[in-house]
Structure 1
Amino acid sequence: MLPSGIQHDAIYILGVGSQTPVGRTHGSSAAAVRCGISAYAEHPFMLDKRGERIIVARASWLDDMMPMAERLSVLALDAAREALQPMTHSRVRSRIRLHLALSREGLGDQVRARQVADSLVSSLDGAPVDDEVAIVMDGHAGGFLAMKEAVEELRSGRSAACLVGGVDSYMTADRLEAIDFAGNLHSSHNTWGFTPGEGAGFCLMATGATVAELGLTPVAELQAVATAQEGQLLGTRTVCIGEGLTAAFRAVLGTGDRVHHTFCDLNGEIYRADEFGFALCRTSEHFVDATQFTAAAECWGDVGAASAQLALGLAVASWERGYAKGHTLLTWASSARGPLRGAAKIKQAVNPRQ
């Protein structure tokens, strides 16, 4: 018999973990965003094309010369461990499948991505994480695709639990220079660019049946997750009217759904703001107040492939700390240079022990 409030086939979030420039845990990162604390600062040595120090949001405890693959592995490790904490003393009988969102721009190919994934799994010593990792390399919204694949795997019974994460960083000379010369870097001469950041976010997911079997307490319920495609991309001679993001919103928001707050990856680029605005116009009936949203990039910078899971972590924290304004929250992200758009509807979980 299932505990009160837990549904057999529902998907629950059991734990979350974060590593960001404003905090080295889920709680500290969320508190910093809640307080509006920013990690924006001059890069120690990188200059833009006008000779000014590039403004970034970086993990200051990491070596600035650390290779990208190693940097991502280090960021991901502590966030993954934090998300796995509920499983520390559980009697889970099967391996946990890892679904990992990475950036093609940051790593270049599947070979280096596989190196990051293998390094992470080998470092999670003692955790029952399967060696076979499902990797997604699809930009900012890649984390939602990873979550979607994990949900399908859980509901099919192929895994008892899935660890879903995203990690990304812009902190290499090549990547910062590429952003600058493409005209996308925020600076005193380009107010519509974005500030490069870095971070990692993870969430541990399982069905209600597994939650009941292991006697765990969920922190949230993932009611729906969806992805969609946008045809009018950033940097092309077309006008984006938010069709892809609208499709993602409509796929997760059902009749009667009312969203109290949104957590998103808006980063200061006008394209992204316009896209969100058009999507809101088409789906306004689902929002209690469309102006109630959190864009954490103003604190930890643009976090690329880590966007989805870090946004989910903020939603969970708002319930944990008691400042959420409702029981239904929306998270979303748009891949910067690709067509993928993603969204998830999160509901406050019922505590079966109350």
Structure 2
Amino acid sequence: MNKLPSPRIVITAAGAATPVGLTLPQTAAAVRAQIANFNEISWCDKEYEPFVIAYIPEECLPDLPSTLTASTQYSRRESRMLRAANLALQDLARAQPDLDAAIPLLLALPQDATTDHNELWNAVLSLTSLPIDPEHSAIIPRGRAAGLIGIDEATKLLTQGTAEFVLVGGCDSEYDLERLGHLDRVGRLKSDINLDGFIPGEGAGFLLLGTERAAAKLGLSTLSVIAATARGFEHGHLYSETPYRGEGLSETWQALLSNLSSQTEHKIATLYSSMNGESYWAKELGVCSIRHQDSLVEAPFISHPADCFGDLGAAFGPVMIGLATTGLQRGYRRGPVLVYCSSDHGHRAAAILHKIQCH
């Protein structure tokens, strides 16, 4: 757990690109309105039915710079991940400051062997206009939880004084025949004959975190406060033979919630979850909510935006932090907000957000 009493860590800029919005404001409006964007594609599953996925329209994805494509041959999946990342970075750039000192980049990526993590890292590096500090940067190939793990790492760098700002982001895409074929073979895709499955998605999200003092020094507006972060591990994960007991997420929440007062006004009012439609994740939230019901308001609002844009994989954490921040800013989500993500292979991570005026 990373306790954050001082200095306060704030989000100063955020950007996203998803199947329901090419910017964070568009995505937030669509998710709030419960607008989904699921479509059949020309590829078929093992039952000869079209795959149903959520994707960013081809015409909306910017071409990669020629300097990238001239030197490297990216796979279809890698190309779509980078093009989505380019959109999200352009969205973030509308609000990002001009920084003189180099800042760390913590990049969340899928937890599989079909992507070249180093190539993706170098490509994302070339897509951002921010000066990046390679020494304190890192690739985090941990799937859904990776972005929030990155935020946990970022808060350590900021509280230790290693950096005044950190860029955290993630990108992923399931719009890939090999990936869809694998998910279909193991029975994880939602279809007319498999209701216990999920809709694949794609997207990217980036956040610029900083200390409140550094933000004030540059005259930056701040979007929300990161009150606490935590990470954990579920030994009974989807691909483990160990029985599932719900310990991983529960212990992560316990570490996170131990920072908050037991007073009613400090109970968690809103949850953002990476649940994607598979029953495993609903069971996990149910177990965790029961164990920590004293830390939640009587009927917390629960958002599981995969209902709108599918499973975003490694992009989930940064995008949901952006959604939660937007909701707090505009007053349609009550705080504190707990955002959590769970990866297929056991990693768990979470963060608590406050409105900027909260102390």
Could you state the TM-score of these two structures normalised by the residue count of structure 2?
0.89
- Which residue is 1:328 aligned to? 336
Among 133, 139, 145, the residue aligned to 1:130: 133
Query: Which residues in structure 2 correspond to 1:196-235 (within 5 Å)?
Result: 196-235=200-239
Among 109, 114, 126, the residue aligned to 1:108: 114
- Which residue is 2:49 aligned to? 52
Summarize the Cα distance change of 1:279–1:39 in structure 2 as closer, same or farther, 3 Å threshold: same
Structure 2 gap ranges (5+): 62-73
- Contact persistence 1:121–1:129 (CA under 8 A): yes
Matching of residue 29 in structure 1 with residue 27 in structure 2: yes
Paired residue secondary structure (1:13): strand
Paired residue secondary structure (1:349): coil
- Contact persistence 1:8–1:208 (CA under 8 A): no
Matching of residue 73 in structure 1 with residue 82 in structure 2: yes
Following superposition, the deviation at residue 96 of structure 1 comes to 2.0
Structure 2 CA distance for aligned equivalents of residues 82 and 272 of structure 1 = 30
Following superposition, the deviation at residue 8 of structure 1 comes to 5.7
Identity among equivalent positions (%) equals 32
Q: Structure 1 residues 22-31 or 150-159, which shifts more? A: 150-159
Amino acid at match of 2:132: V
Query: Which residues in structure 2 correspond to 1:146-295 (within 5 Å)?
Result: 146-254=150-258, 255-256=261-262, 257-290=266-299, 292-295=301-304
Structure 1 CA distance for aligned equivalents of residues 281 and 335 of structure 2 = 26
Structure 1 CA distance for aligned equivalents of residues 157 and 128 of structure 2 = 22
Following superposition, the deviation at residue 85 of structure 1 comes to 3.4
- Aligned residues between the structures: 336
Following superposition, the deviation at residue 230 of structure 1 comes to 0.6
Following superposition, the deviation at residue 83 of structure 1 comes to 2.4
Among 4, 9, 15, the residue aligned to 1:17: 15
Structure 1 CA distance for aligned equivalents of residues 114 and 232 of structure 2 = 24
Following superposition, the deviation at residue 223 of structure 1 comes to 0.6
- Contact persistence 1:280–1:290 (CA under 8 A): no
Structure 1 CA distance for aligned equivalents of residues 271 and 208 of structure 2 = 21
Structure 2 CA distance for aligned equivalents of residues 39 and 66 of structure 1 = 24
Amino acid at match of 1:162: V
Following superposition, the deviation at residue 289 of structure 1 comes to 3.5
Following superposition, the deviation at residue 66 of structure 1 comes to 6.5
- Contact persistence 2:270–2:335 (CA under 8 A): no
Paired residue secondary structure (1:252): helix
Following superposition, the deviation at residue 68 of structure 1 comes to 1.8
Give the aligned CA root-mean-square deviation in angstroms.
2.0
Following superposition, the deviation at residue 156 of structure 1 comes to 1.7
- Which residue is 1:349 aligned to? 356
Amino acid at match of 1:263: Y
- Contact persistence 1:141–1:342 (CA under 8 A): yes
- Contact persistence 2:238–2:346 (CA under 8 A): no
- Which residue is 1:143 aligned to? 147
Paired residue secondary structure (1:104): coil
Structure 1 CA distance for aligned equivalents of residues 122 and 85 of structure 2 = 12
- Which residue is 2:71 aligned to? none
Summarize the Cα distance change of 1:96–1:205 in structure 2 as closer, same or farther, 3 Å threshold: same
Structure 1 gap ranges (5+): 1-6
Amino acid at match of 2:105: L
Query: Which residues in structure 2 correspond to 1:32-43 (within 5 Å)?
Result: 32-43=30-41
Summarize the Cα distance change of 1:246–1:290 in structure 2 as closer, same or farther, 3 Å threshold: farther
